[in-house]
Amino acid sequence: MRDYETFFRTNRLPHIWCPGCGHGIAMKAIAKAIAKLDLDQDKTVIVSGIGCSSRASGYMDFDTLHTAHGRALPFATGIKLANPELNVIVITGDGDCMAIGGNHFIHAARRNIDLTVILFNNNIYGMTGGQASPLTPVEKKATTAPYGTFDRPFNPCEVAKTAGATYIARGTAFHAAPLVDLIAQGIQNKGFSFIETLVQCPTSYGRRNKMGSAAAMLKDMSETVIPLAAYNRLSTEERNEKLPSGVLHTDVFPEYAAEYAKIIKQAGGDKA
Amino acid sequence: MRDYETFFRTNRLPHIWCPGCGHGIAMKAIAKAIAKLDLDQDKTVIVSGIGCSSRASGYMDFDTLHTAHGRALPFATGIKLANPELNVIVITGDGDCMAIGGNHFIHAARRNIDLTVILFNNNIYGMTGGQASPLTPVEKKATTAPYGTFDRPFNPCEVAKTAGATYIARGTAFHAAPLVDLIAQGIQNKGFSFIETLVQCPTSYGRRNKMGSAAAMLKDMSETVIPLAAYNRLSTEERNEKLPSGVLHTDVFPEYAAEYAKIIKQAGGDKA
Amino acid sequence: MIIKVNARFCKGCNICVAFCPKQVLALDSMGKVCVVDESACIGCGQCELRCPDFAIRINKEEKA
Amino acid sequence: MIIKVNARFCKGCNICVAFCPKQVLALDSMGKVCVVDESACIGCGQCELRCPDFAIRINKEEKA
Amino acid sequence: MKEIRLSGSGGQGLITAGIILAEAAIMEGKQAVQSQSYGPEARGGSSKAEVLIDDHFIYHPKVVNPQIFLAMTQQAMDKYSHDLTPDSIVIVDEDLVQNPHGSEHIVKVPITNLSVEHLGRDLFANIIALGLLVKVTGAVSFETIQKAVAKRVPPATVPKNMEALRIGYESIQ
Amino acid sequence: MKEIRLSGSGGQGLITAGIILAEAAIMEGKQAVQSQSYGPEARGGSSKAEVLIDDHFIYHPKVVNPQIFLAMTQQAMDKYSHDLTPDSIVIVDEDLVQNPHGSEHIVKVPITNLSVEHLGRDLFANIIALGLLVKVTGAVSFETIQKAVAKRVPPATVPKNMEALRIGYESIQ
Amino acid sequence: MSEARLMQGNEACAEGAVAAGVRFFGGYPITPSTEIAEYMAVNLPKVGGNFIQMEDEIAGIGVILGASLAGKKALTATSGPGFSLKQELIGYAAIAEIPAVIVNVQRMGPSTGQPTSPAQADIMQARWGTHGDHPMIALSPWTVRESFDVAVKAVNYSERFRTPVIILLDEVVGHLRERVELPSAHEIEIYPRRMPNTTKAQGYKAYTPMEDLVPNPANFGTGYRIHCTGLVHDETGFPSGSPKVTEQTIHRLHEKIMRVQDEITHYDEFFMDDAEIAVVAFGGTARTAYAAVEAARHAGQKVGMVRMMTIWPFAENVMRNLAKRVKGILVPEMNYGQYVYEVERAAAAQARVVSLPKYDAEVFTPDEIKQAIEKLAAEVAK
Amino acid sequence: MSEARLMQGNEACAEGAVAAGVRFFGGYPITPSTEIAEYMAVNLPKVGGNFIQMEDEIAGIGVILGASLAGKKALTATSGPGFSLKQELIGYAAIAEIPAVIVNVQRMGPSTGQPTSPAQADIMQARWGTHGDHPMIALSPWTVRESFDVAVKAVNYSERFRTPVIILLDEVVGHLRERVELPSAHEIEIYPRRMPNTTKAQGYKAYTPMEDLVPNPANFGTGYRIHCTGLVHDETGFPSGSPKVTEQTIHRLHEKIMRVQDEITHYDEFFMDDAEIAVVAFGGTARTAYAAVEAARHAGQKVGMVRMMTIWPFAENVMRNLAKRVKGILVPEMNYGQYVYEVERAAAAQARVVSLPKYDAEVFTPDEIKQAIEKLAAEVAK
Ligand SMILES: Cc1ncc(C[n+]2csc(CCOP(=O)(O)OP(=O)(O)O)c2C)c(N)n1
Ligand SMILES: Cc1ncc(C[n+]2csc(CCOP(=O)(O)OP(=O)(O)O)c2C)c(N)n1
Ligand code: SF4
Ligand code: SF4
Ligand code: SF4
Ligand code: SF4
Ligand code: SF4
Ligand code: SF4
Ligand SMILES: [Mg+2]
Ligand SMILES: [Mg+2]
């Protein structure tokens, strides 16, 4: 058994994601990051919303919380504030986080509350069978975009940054090894951390968009996503075709739970 | 009678905003902008949410819609799509737009749908009596921040930009004359336009924060808010104390309603 | 200059008074704006510009 | 190298096969991964790294 | 049971006055309830506060027979006086209520002006009104109302508020 | 009334097969309903499709007495066979269902393998099963099922699908 | 009538809505309603209409209310979790009198529950889900064909009464495919958008009730410059805090629908002539109930069935009379017992009312209902 | 008992919650509930608790459910529009069995309605507002002191049954200031957070029901590594699609509360000994009803009053018996008639049940109720 496998609920495996689904790769990376940091398994909480990606909480052997669609962040905020000693990790999907959960996302980032959010971005609503998400690229097809999408997707890393996140990174299922580090660094950041993880959904996205097998989709990622340094060397035009990976942004700001602790102190509640 | 006054429902005036409330100044600027552009009064729609600011819709003589708290943008989106020949102007507050309505805000901006959103930013929940909003500056007091706020406010112009708005400006009630132009330009932009308008709330914000009279609050604005060009000349440190005004950002992107019209054409529905 | 005040609209917020460069305006005992020195008015329109209540208006002297 | 396959977990997605630089792996008729040339394996771990189902594992030859 | 209604415009401090009156009654061991109703305006508009004082628990918490009706604006006078009876005592700020009505028993006092004149600002009109109300109703003793006011207002303003109370109390015979 | 249940794993195309069967029945002027049930998996897991065919309107839309039960995986065989009767005919993919049960009348055909062997991929197994079902049930004529399949599948795949139907139809006597 | 074809309930519902003139759909995907959105995405542009996927279900109803105000007939579709989220704005539509149709393809709840399993557990929510007093029209089809018809009716009622109308589909009917023959366009009666009957110059007020108690607020962009709000308002459409106006407005909202309650109460009776037991059922459950009643008849039971299409307003008179006609009423529903509360109330002890709840995420079998019929028959025979 | 003082209903409610152990408040301001949030903002930090203002009402309930899972007793407060928005997650709390208290200070609706006007029009919504089947406990205080007591009870019930509990305040009581004497700390009984009774090694399952049918899921961070979901789940807490598990789970959710229904049904009787007419009332309306009943008694009517504190579960037995004791039941409510539906059902025609609705955004006067009593008395005398 690999060390990180102690973080799986092995009796619930194999998971029910489709053959070739990238969510399994991303989940493994989280487990590895936790192993790497040697977090206390009993003091770590995984919170998710609803979606294929959000099933991950059920497979991971921590206190785990599978909330409602889009609502992982308010729950996670409550957990963190109620017990700041817990490591709170949020697993979410592109629909869960950026569509229905968009407001919670920007507000959690604004508060810089110490949560680590890993967005499993498969560019689609996987669970409900392939509807467009706010991260579906222009011209891609979806069951609710039968003529191709035309509204621009968000850049979730930029949204997180503007909203106030203090650690932002992008990784992919293809670049599975460096992804572990990106997540680990996010967990270590005392503040709101966001790791966009590109994953393939061969079933609800790849097939409809004729992107080939899961392996072919991973291959695509390997070409499209390049290290930030390399990306920065590209011309503006060249950048249109590419996405930077790695740590994209860090900043230092007071963390919400810690700041509130000060207020409790100021009010005398630390002695209560 | 001033030309722009034809855009008021004079039988509903005087309005019920408090003495010295900045919302009246901002509303007047919108009416002047409409007068300046000579918009068809019967083809212009004002949509608002709920809040003191959102009362403006009741005073303006167009088709007007006073929706629910935070929901002005979905309604406005429906109006624009259903009848793209209408000019749709949205009046909202900092709570309405950036707290409960935050998700609709970033998504409407993302779609670049042709709406003009004017945020009456008084840094507080005026209507409910002075609770903190996501735009309340750090350390200011509010009834729900009796020990002073400590979570950073959004910069709504930056949020709009990252989300995809194609026209972004900031004005103030003090700079009431240039504000008219900023709004007019926003209306002219075929896409999502956002004008943050700083206004004073002497009742629920100024008093609690010992900011003096309405006039004193306006005076403050006159010092804090400076033209973008001047702002750009400041050092990073100096910028912390100031806010830039004027047109902060423009961009060109396909507009949502127009793009959808193409889809209708593609599907043959233009002949239906 | 003709300074027109709509007393029904005026809420006595004092903004016009504060921003008038010529001390033309003041609040009366009922807390409404009043013109104390019309002749000093330079017609700059600052009062009208920022009155939140559409309660004061400056008209250039009309000919005829 | 010891290549361990957990057939119960393997969903036959072919990712490991596609990314193996040495053509060590293939899918069998039941659509599960199988090792066709264990000796060619260089232990690079690409297969294990990206298997979404934790179904394949590369162990360096254990001593004793 | 004493049934008292205080009315005026938002910002005149009548709700605070009502609260203080109710608190004073409690200090004297009585039962008291206080409620209010206001319009959509944050300032201005009309608002009313009602105070009921009794020796027994008060069930229905609103004024049914207004014994004392205070109006600090004409608008409030008109809006909240529909149920006055011939026995009701109507107290008005005589400068702000041009047309008091609803009962024969009308007490006119230049409440706001007294505040401006004697205390420099209109801010203390509500406490002057409170002094006046105590005088008219005898709902609580003057000592108690003094204590109650002192407990509620910012310490720095206690002397001025005591003065306001006295002005009100002594404004009629 | 004909009551037919098709079961297997998500992605095997059994719901499509059920739909085609129902459409064929309608082409013959009959009443038909089709329903399905599936687990939480997007692919894999177990799913079933049910088709009822009758001359009259069909009220209760689910199989009550499964006359024909098709199982394309062992898991589906086990999960959806609880209500089989001695009269039920059980049709299984003999390579994928090691342990068929629930009735004496068991028809074993290497459905998926036939698809791979004759048509190069396992993709056509559902249509082969459909041919087989038509043969066993006589629910619709072979001509009608050919028309129904041709109407549903992408035009380019019609010949292969016709071949699949035939293979299924002829796979038993 | 068009040619017979196999069609899904959700699809028929969407097609019916379009046939009734719906030209705007806004929504958010959710099982088991997503096919409606998907149908609209493909087909609305073909008839010049708009489909928009919104950021969440709240926006999904907000956008259709906006579109409706701008003159387009509009619909959204969802399931339980989304229906809960839409409640605030359903109330908005009720008080602001905006025509709109909300489809709820019910699934097993509460919360995420069992997304792919059938239920009829949002019956009471459809009536009482939003805060404050308001009337509600909710219709529940039992066949695929009727999903089409109900959609037409729902759109028409929403336009006629200017009120939100709920279509309570359930997973059984929504996902069922069955043979249908749809009416052709000329067979479908369409209630057109109400228009102002006076000009602005004649003193038009947006919310003056007509004889049928329904006002004619002008579509936006037609020159009337109306004001629409979720605050209590008077005939002008502007807020009013007056007790009289408040009372009148809330009362009128109810009365405009309740005065024609019998006209909009749709139901079928089967085998009722000599029935001593009645089964009251709706939606997918009614299909099974029919099979059970038929079987029980064959077995000699004097049992009939009343199948409700109109769920709300509650069929007060129908049920009151029914209780006088029979000795026992059985109410099978795929929930813990909801509609039965109202039946019991209306029956006023005139007949024995028995709940037959089913909440194991499966549909009833005919046998389960038949047995309950037999049990009830035995009980009332005593 | 503490010293007598003047206190507002909202304030007393907040203070009661803190006294019962609430250490977490998340919410979003809305009239007329905002004072509760404001009280918490000031006072929770003083006792080491957390106040957080969230971005909307949905987040307001989400955050308290998270805090509750992490071991803090938690409360949120809102009014109609926010209560509608919270419905989805109220259902989540019900099925995931998370203790939480939701205060709804009712105001006039639907939609924005009349924000500062009193109403009791969310009675049915409190029971049926979310999708799917679930039980509900809702309590409504009628005095300021009882607002404190009800808060304590609500927190205790939410912990004891691990279920969301609704406090149905109305604007009348929420904004009323009155003389109160509060109990001192040692007089308040607190139901502590339930804790696992077995270790992980002993095969602990988070959702195994105890004898009282309530499970003991461990607080997060205590080493049990539990899984919590809004899907239907079995004793382990993990999702299950089995019909048997589904049925058992939904049934248990109801039964854990319904089995002690009588114990948690709180009400008062006044003047009932020889009453022929009963007035059934709750919240602010009950105060006026009391005055009316007292006046009617003075005028010689044989009228009594039953004042309900427990609104849900509905006091089935109390009402059934009441109908047998009196000839007529009058139900005054500040709404279009809601609670009366249930009274009418339970009365089963044993007594004449009359609704006295009030929906003009004003409170009842004693006279209005007294007249209705007299009218009813005359009717039943015939
Ligand atoms: C309130 C609510 N709305 C909609 C749904 C239906 N739903 C479940 S998952 C999902 C989208 C999932 O997409 P994403 O978050 O990208 O996750 P993925 O499945 O792609 O991993 C939707 C719309 C729901 N469960 N609840
Ligand atoms: C769903 C809902 N939640 C809360 C409220 C209460 N509410 C009304 S206005 C408002 C905040 C207003 O603040 P802002 O948008 O900044 O407008 P302002 O009054 O400051 O102009 C709130 C919280 C409401 N009406 N509806
Ligand atoms: S549908 Fe897509 S996201 Fe969901 S499990 Fe399958 S491959 Fe993964
Ligand atoms: S409370 Fe503030 S925002 Fe509202 S009307 Fe008064 S000054 Fe304006
Ligand atoms: S600015 Fe306007 S409202 Fe204020 S005092 Fe002057 S005239 Fe009156
Ligand atoms: S126009 Fe200028 S000078 Fe004249 S009153 Fe107004 S502010 Fe003063
Ligand atoms: S990557 Fe894993 S699941 Fe896919 S074929 Fe290889 S071993 Fe099997
Ligand atoms: S370790 Fe490398 S070489 Fe060996 S099987 Fe895996 S991918 Fe192929
Ligand atoms: Mg996704
Ligand atoms: Mg504001």
Among H165, H187, H209, identify where a domain stops: H187
Tens-place pLDDT, residues H313-358: 999 999 999 999 999 999 999 999 999 999 999 999 999 999 999 9
Q: Which of H125, H121, H148 is nearest to H136 (CA)?
A: H125
Query: E62 CA distance to ligand 4 centroid (A)?
Result: 29
Q: What is the dihedral of CA H340, H341, H342, H346, to 10 degrees?
A: 100
Beta partners for residue H1, in sequence order: none
Q: Is the model's pLDDT at H98 over the cut of 50? A: yes
- Whether C64 is covered by a domain: the verdict is no
Tens-place pLDDT, residues B197-215: 999 999 999 999 999 999 9
| CA–CA gap between residue G127 and residue H341 (Å, rounded) | 13
Q: Could you give the number of structural domains in chain C?
A: 1
Chains in contact with H, counting 3 or more C-beta pairs less than 8 Å apart as contact: A, B, E, F, G
If DSSP codes are grouped into helix, strand and coil, which group holds residue E93?
A: strand
If DSSP codes are grouped into helix, strand and coil, which group holds residue E121?
A: coil
Specify the CATH number for the domain of residue C37.
Answer: 3.30.70.20
Q: Kindly list the distances between the CA atom of residue F135 and the CA atoms of F141, F159, F167, G46, in Å, as whole numbers in the listed order.
A: 9, 20, 11, 41
Contacts of B68 in chain H (CB under 8 A): 81, 111-112
If DSSP codes are grouped into helix, strand and coil, which group holds residue G205?
A: coil
**E strand or H helix at A64:** strand A63-66
Asked if A46 and A116 touch (Cβ cutoff 8 Å), the reply is: no
pTM above threshold 0.90:
yes
Tens-place pLDDT, residues E68-107: 999 999 999 999 999 999 999 999 999 999 999 999 999 9
Both structure tokens of G93: 């539509």
Tens-place pLDDT, residues B79-94: 999 999 999 999 999 9
CATH superfamily of F2-169: Pyruvate-ferredoxin oxidoreductase, PFOR, domain III (3.40.920.10)
CB pairs under 8 A between B and H: 45
Specify burial of residue F170 (Cβ count, 10 A radius: 0-12, 13-18, 19+).
Answer: exposed
| CA–CA gap between residue F92 and residue G84 (Å, rounded) | 44
Specify the CATH number for the domain of residue B61.
Answer: 3.40.50.970
Name the residue of chain A whose CA is nearest to D14's CA. A215
Phi and psi, residue G212, nearest 5°: -85, 15
Residues H327 and H183 in one domain: no
Model confidence at C63, in pLDDT bands (50, 70, 90)?
very low
If DSSP codes are grouped into helix, strand and coil, which group holds residue C61?
A: coil
Beta partners for residue A19, in sequence order: none
User: With an 8 Å Cβ cutoff, are E61 and H6 in contact?
Assistant: no
Task: Tell me the average pLDDT across H230-259.
Answer: 97
Among G157, G187, G217, identify where a domain stops: G187
Give the ligand with the smallest distance to the CA of C50. 5
User: With an 8 Å Cβ cutoff, are C17 and B22 in contact?
Assistant: no
If DSSP codes are grouped into helix, strand and coil, which group holds residue C7?
A: coil
Residue linked to tokens 């010092």? B223
Which residue of B107, B154, B262 is in closest CB contact with A102? B107
Specify burial of residue H138 (Cβ count, 10 A radius: 0-12, 13-18, 19+).
Answer: buried
Asked if G306 and G280 touch (Cβ cutoff 8 Å), the reply is: yes
Q: What is the dihedral of CA A139, A145, A151, A153, to 10 degrees?
A: -80
- Whether G217 is covered by a domain: the verdict is no
Q: Which of G369, G366, G331, G370 is nearest to G351 (CA)?
A: G331
Ligand 2 neighbour B247 (Cβ under 6 A) = no
Q: Is the model's pLDDT at G101 over the cut of 60? A: yes
**E strand or H helix at E126:** helix E125-137
Q: Which of residues 91-110 of B touch H (CB under 8 A)?
A: 99-100, 102
Q: Is E42 left (phi over 0), alpha (psi -120 to 50) or beta?
A: alpha
Query: D18 CA distance to ligand 8 centroid (A)?
Result: 10
- Give the distance from residue G224's alpha carbon to the nearest chain H alpha carbon, in angstroms: 24
Q: How many CA atoms lie within 13 A of A66 on its CB side?
A: 27
| CA–CA gap between residue G126 and residue G130 (Å, rounded) | 9
Task: Tell me the average pLDDT across G23-52.
Answer: 98
Q: What pLDDT score was predicted for residue D63? A: 46
Asked if B7 and B60 touch (Cβ cutoff 8 Å), the reply is: yes
Phi and psi, residue C26, nearest 5°: -155, 170
DSSP 8-state code for residue H332: E
Q: Which of A218, A200, A256, A267 is nearest to A81 (CA)?
A: A256
Ligand 2 neighbour B96 (Cβ under 6 A) = yes
Q: What pLDDT score was predicted for residue H298? A: 97
Q: What pLDDT score was predicted for residue D62? A: 57
Q: Is the model's pLDDT at G329 over the cut of 50? A: yes
- Give the distance from residue B243's alpha carbon to the nearest chain E alpha carbon, in angstroms: 29
Residues with CB under 5 A from ligand 10 (ion): B 93-94, 122, 126
Measured by CA distance, the residue closest to atom 5 of ligand 3 is: A17
Q: What pLDDT score was predicted for residue A218? A: 98
Q: CA A89 from chain center: how many Å?
A: 9
Query: A52 CA distance to ligand 3 centroid (A)?
Result: 6
| CA–CA gap between residue H217 and residue H238 (Å, rounded) | 12
Q: Is the model's pLDDT at E130 over the cut of 60? A: yes
Which residue of B103, B110, B161 is in closest CB contact with A151? B110
User: With an 8 Å Cβ cutoff, are A100 and G57 in contact?
Assistant: yes
Inform me whether the C-beta atom of residue D23 falls under 8 Å from chain A C-beta atoms: no
Which residue of B50, B82, B266 is in closest CB contact with G50? B82
* Nearest atom of ligand 2 to the alpha carbon of B125: 13
| CA–CA gap between residue H377 and residue H293 (Å, rounded) | 12
Average pLDDT, chain B: 97
| CA–CA gap between residue H109 and residue H118 (Å, rounded) | 9
Contacts of G176 in chain F (CB under 8 A): 33-35, 61
CA H291, H295, H298, H303 dihedral sign is negative
Q: Is the model's pLDDT at B217 over the cut of 60? A: yes
Residue linked to tokens 């089935």? H316
Residue linked to tokens 């009423």? G329
Domain that holds residue D52: 2-59
Beta partners for residue H228, in sequence order: A65
Q: What pLDDT score was predicted for residue D43? A: 96
Q: Could you give the number of structural domains in chain G?
A: 2
Both structure tokens of A227: 């290290």
Q: What pLDDT score was predicted for residue G136? A: 98
Tens-place pLDDT, residues H265-313: 999 999 999 999 999 999 999 999 999 999 999 999 999 999 999 999 9
Residues in chain F: 173
Measured by CA distance, the residue closest to atom 2 of ligand 8 is: D44
Tens-place pLDDT, residues G193-207: 999 999 999 999 999
Specify burial of residue H19 (Cβ count, 10 A radius: 0-12, 13-18, 19+).
Answer: buried
Among H159, H187, H215, identify where a domain stops: H187
Beta strands E68-71 and G277-281 are unpaired
Q: Which of G191, G186, G140, G164 is nearest to G9 (CA)?
A: G140
Q: How many CA atoms lie within 13 A of C12 on its CB side?
A: 8
Q: What pLDDT score was predicted for residue C64? A: 43
Q: What pLDDT score was predicted for residue C62? A: 57
Give every residue of chain A whose pLDDT is below 70, as ranges: none
Phi and psi, residue A38, nearest 5°: 55, 45
Specify burial of residue C59 (Cβ count, 10 A radius: 0-12, 13-18, 19+).
Answer: exposed
Domain chopping of chain E, boundaries: 2-169
Q: What pLDDT score was predicted for residue B69? A: 98
Q: Kindly list the distances between the CA atom of residue A207 and the CA atoms of A144, A211, E146, F42, H357, in Å, as whole numbers in the listed order.
A: 15, 6, 81, 13, 59
Asked if G14 and G63 touch (Cβ cutoff 8 Å), the reply is: no
DSSP letter string, D1-64: -EEEE-TTT-----HHHHH-TT--EEE-TTS-EEES-GGG-----HHHHH-TTS-EEEEPPPP-
Task: Tell me the average pLDDT across G240-264.
Answer: 97
Which residue of H29, H41, H55 is in closest CB contact with B128? H29
Q: CA F126 from chain center: how many Å?
A: 7
DSSP letter string, A109-168: HHHT-S-EEEEEE-SSBTTTTSB--TTSPTT--BTTBTT---SPPP-HHHHHHHHT-SEE
Q: Is the model's pLDDT at H365 over the cut of 50? A: yes
Q: What pLDDT score was predicted for residue A1? A: 78
Q: What pLDDT score was predicted for residue E42? A: 78
Q: Could you give the number of structural domains in chain A?
A: 1
Contacts of G66 in chain B (CB under 8 A): 47, 65, 74-80, 82
Q: Which residues of F touch A (CB under 8 A)?
A: 39-45
b/e per residue, B159-170, with b = 16+ CB within 10 A? bbbbbbbbbbbb
Domain that holds residue G111: 5-187
Both structure tokens of E105: 């028993």
Asked if this assembly's ipTM is beyond 0.90, the reply is yes
**E strand or H helix at G156:** helix G144-161
Give every residue of chain F whose pLDDT is below 50, as ranges: none
| CA–CA gap between residue B126 and residue B140 (Å, rounded) | 14
| Residues whose beta carbon lies within 6 Å of some atom of ligand 7 | D 10-16, 33, 51, 53, 55-56
Residues H272 and H182 in one domain: no
Tens-place pLDDT, residues C33-48: 999 999 999 999 999 9
| CA–CA gap between residue H197 and residue B97 (Å, rounded) | 48
Measured by CA distance, the residue closest to atom 2 of ligand 6 is: C44
Q: Hey, how many other C-beta atoms are within 10 angstroms of the C-beta on F34? A: 28
